[in-house]
Structure 1
Amino acid sequence: MRWIEWMKPGLQIKRWALIVFVGIILLALSFASFVSSMNLSLNPIIVMLSGFIGLILILFAVNKVISSIINLYYIQPPMQSKTQSPKLNQVFYDKKIRSRGPKVVVIGGGTGLSVLLRGLKQFTSNITAIVTVADDGGGSGKLREDLGMLPPGDIRNCILALAEMEPTMEKLLQYRFEEGTLKGQSFGNLLIAAMNGISGNFEDAIKSISEVLAVTGSVLPVTLESIVLYAKLENGRIIKGESNIPSKSLEENSPIEKVFIKPKESEAVQDAIESILQADIVVLGPGSLYTSIIPNLLIQNIKDSLLKTDALKVYIPNVMTQPGETDDYSVTRHVEAILAHCQQIEIDCVIANIGSIPDNISEKYKREGASLIKLTDIDCRILKEMGIEVIADNLIEIKKDYVRHDAVKLSKTVVDLVLKEKLSQGKEGFIQYFIMKSVLKGK
């Protein structure tokens, strides 16, 4: 029954190969009859006609074979179950399409960043995630205090977002112990801690973990120095520690005026600087404004590289406010907070949500002190006056009553921004634009 399996639809090449074979047979018969024309049993017109038809079939089928391969090579995204081994189209897509995707640098931390990364890896493998290391709470905080290492939590989430692995492996790395001295600690954090112990430094540990888990792109700590985040509240109170800032802001009933880090002279890892300088686009967020995004921008080397790069600079605010951090913040106020901490940085574009959420979800978040951040006409006018382009869309996705960005839709918007810019950069940009536009349509 192998011939039945062989005839099943697959990459749409076998059928055209079969037609090529039939065409060759017909052409061969025609040629053979022509050679032995002295004893020709067929009408010469029929012989020539069959040869002509055979030639047409060959040319037609070869064209179809080439078209099918081009479709796989340039356009068709991989569509396979997690139990199947990679097929030709998967290999083509992974090695060729995503490798030719735009160079995207994402700066931030927390859940918002990992959500975006899951979407971006479907379109490009040229991703660099620069992740904050100011976290000092939860399991990461315990490892930071006990082992003197940088906090692995946000980095772990980014690695998992970009990794190619089975669901069971991801569940294992996200598993949190429920009792004993390890209660609340995740297995993934412990794995990073162990790798840190046998590596030269934290950056090398992350690179090793990324290789083991087949990470698309790279995940980098913003610095290898043990930085501490501080916040000055509007009432003048200074709060020490990333995990304390939101709670103390609520307790004091005083909003955040500014944040700063110690040591102030902390330097970024070299790979992070180079990735920003070589990027097509640098994305700030989504993520916690004061505790995930801005701390990265306070590293002097990061700020300097953002000033030097020719990349587009885009900011993506969260879809919901965060209690004790961005209460009642508009989109404009988010942007103003970034520019207040990094006055010379220019933001080219803001990608903001205009979608709504169901009343029951809104009420749930309201009880927790959060509300929807929705782009308004006033935001659009102010941002336009600031020279910032605004892209507005319904970017909301709700899973298990949690409001998040729609990762694929948001990633399409980011990639499309780069491609429009590439379109003005000559032949290479023109070709890349239409190749990637075909991919975007397929998602």
Structure 2
Amino acid sequence: MPQEKVSDKKEKRVEGRGKFRRNKRVREEPFEDEGMAVPEDAPAIDAELCAAQIFDPKVLAQGKAAKKNELVKQSEKLHKVLADLGLGSRRDMEQLIVEGRISVNSEPAFLGQRVMPGDIVRLNGRIVKRMAQGKQPKAPRVLVYHKPAGQIVSMRDPQGRPSVFDNLPKISGARWIAVGRLDFNTEGLLLFTTSGELANRLMHPRYEIEREYAVRAAGVMTDEAKELLTTGVELDDGPAHFSMLEEKGGDNLNRWYLVRISEGRNREVRRMFAAVGLTVSRLIRVRYGAVRLPADLARGTTRELKPDWVQAWMAQLNAATSSTGGKKPAVKKVGGKKNTGRSFNRKPERIPDPMLSTVNYIASGSLGAAQGAYGRALARTDDVMPPPFKKGGKFGKSKGSGKGKGFGKRR
């Protein structure tokens, strides 16, 4: 075969492959209503709806107290720790403490003192190297992002829209995980963390982490509508309600409201307002749990929480979970087989204990009566028994023997 024909076939194959790749279809995602578009020159949120402090000081105090309680549980008596290190008996260590030769964190030690894993113990001015103990886990990083309208909370978008991940700082050895989502045209506070466990703890519905939103809606909020929003309004995916709803002023057509909710279903706030006849023209999240949107954080910028804030928050969350006993609310099942009229709460029938039943049967005399009836029945049927079973028959006692040995031999 000529060399030119072979090269032509190769070129056609390459062109075909390239053409196939160029014509590869991209699956399009269904269009989803993201609410009214917010103009780029929209004024910033009112400072009254934001917070001066980014982290809730009440949660910080509760978290530090919970963290201290956790460390206290890990503490040990000082003289026991020194004795376990082989420095002497416990009584010897107590004597050294009385003599003032031992210090803890540069302070003189005292009898009965408890030390924690991070305390620095010195004997005669020299640091005592304690046994290797489990290090405290490093606090995950938590990032606060002021999301502007017109950005999607996704790494990739088939439509090529801007992503919030484009404005996040680069990290090595980890990745940013979005804590919840905000619609394309929703603004405000968006959290990111490097811990999947913390993200799940903050997002899962059973923990009921509170969120607050500043809502600008067009229409008149009647008393009946306010009552429905706070007691419960029916949506396509179930009832929903605000735990707080406050009016924050505005003009005649557009009014601002501050609402609080403990779940994050898809477009839930917008759908709740629409259910009472109000149209949301602007939606801004101003709080997520213990973190508030700071007034001085510009749109499209980030700020990282301090590690001690994150540790305090995690300790407070763990303490709140342990106080409830770790109980999970019952999940209502949807679908499945319908109730056919049977009572599922009916107690199972009691099965009597065979041993107890036998003992009671004997104690009542029923067993003796049954044996007597059985013997009388045998006596009545003795005359009509088949010949092999009669006394002295083929299978009876052996002839010439004093005692019967049961059945004879078969012939």
TM-score w.r.t. length of structure 1 = 0.24
Q: Identify the structure with the greater strand proportion.
A: 2
Q: Taking CA–CA contacts closer than 8 Å with sequence separation of 6 or more, which of the two structures ends up with the larger relative contact order? A: 2
Q: Which has the larger radius of gyration?
A: 2
